[in-house]
């Protein structure tokens, strides 16, 4: 079952359709590169059984990485003219014969992945001018996807900090009495959450971040702390 496209994915798909129709090629796709693996995130294809969203492959064996490394040109009207390309898996299956690839770069200068189009036949009409079109579309795609990239990075950072604390039974809860001044009687208790001091963040800031983190399927709330993490305050209980 195909995954449901997000609004950003749908916008990227429209850009890919523009590339595919303008260059008269079989497929256009946005890929994400994580340093080891290439992920085909959004694909527009005339032959979907050969090019599928969600497919992954070793990054160092892809046309895209070879282009980024400078081992292949960004525009290849006939892949067979480039021995280095013919040695890569994509030249054998799905037998790519024409190809153009440009990087997708985020506003901070970091590489997200590639914006590519490919054909199953050679195309002598494919020129460096087509690279200029792809660069414009790749920039538009980067603008579309960047908010989601930033949001995922923020959630990942929250998870990395909070999950170990929760797994250890935290946050630590400090209990201090509420005393009736007139009689000195204890009438209740106040519970205060304590996160690791090295974070340098007040509890309200930590809890404010938790709703975004809870979108990943877990939650952080004062009630999640185990009794073993409860502590009395330095004040003496009456």
Q: Which two tokens stand for residue 152?
A: 């995922």
Contact 210, 220 (CB under 8 A): yes
170: which DSSP letter? Answer: -
Which is nearest to 90 in space by CA: 130, 46, 50, 126? 50
Contact 117, 62 (CB under 8 A): no
168-190 pLDDT, tens digit each: 777 777 888 899 989 989 888 88
Q: In terms of residues, how long is the chain?
A: 238
Angle, to 10 degrees, between the axis of helix 128-167 and the axis of helix 203-214?
A: 120
Distances (CA, A) of 81 to 60, 73, 176: 20, 11, 77
The domains of the chain are located at: 7-152, 168-232
CA–CA separation, 13 and 44 (whole Å): 7
CATH number of 7-152: 3.30.450.40
pTM for this prediction: 0.74
Q: For the chain, give percent helix, strand, coil, nearest 5.
A: 40, 25, 35
**Predicted pLDDT of residue 235:** 45
pLDDT in tens, the chain (238 residues): 567 899 999 999 999 999 999 999 999 999 999 999 999 999 999 988 888 999 999 999 999 999 999 999 999 999 999 999 999 999 998 899 999 999 999 999 999 999 999 999 999 999 999 999 999 999 999 999 999 999 888 888 777 877 787 777 777 778 888 999 899 898 888 887 777 777 777 767 776 766 554 455 554 444 444 554 444 444 444 4
């Amino acid at each position: 079952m195909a995954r449901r496209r997000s609004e950003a994915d749908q916008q990227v798909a429209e850009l890919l359709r523009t590339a595919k129709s303008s260059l008269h090629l079989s497929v256009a796709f946005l890929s994400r590169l994580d340093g080891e693996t290439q992920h085909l995130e959004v694909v527009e294809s005339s032959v979907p059984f050969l090019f599928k969203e969600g497919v992954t492959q070793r990054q160092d064996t892809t046309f895209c990485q070879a282009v980024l490394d400078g081992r292949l040109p960004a525009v290849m009207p006939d892949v067979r003219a480039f021995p280095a390309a013919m040695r890569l898996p994509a030249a054998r299956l799905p037998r790519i014969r024409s190809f153009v690839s440009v990087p997708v770069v985020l506003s901070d200068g970091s590489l997200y992945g590639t914006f590519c189009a490919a054909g199953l036949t050679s195309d002598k009409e494919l020129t460096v001018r087509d690279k200029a079109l792809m660069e414009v579309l790749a920039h538009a795609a980067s603008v579309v996807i960047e908010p989601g990239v930033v949001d995922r990075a923020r959630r990942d950072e929250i998870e990395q900090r909070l999950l170990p604390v929760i797994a250890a039974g935290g946050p630590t809860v400090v209990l201090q009495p509420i005393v009736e001044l007139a009689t000195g009687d204890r009438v209740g208790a106040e519970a205060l959450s304590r996160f690791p001091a090295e974070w340098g963040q007040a509890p309200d800031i930590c809890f404010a971040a938790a709703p975004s983190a809870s979108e990943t399927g877990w939650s952080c709330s004062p009630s999640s702390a185990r009794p073993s993490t409860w502590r009395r305050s330095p004040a003496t209980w009456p």
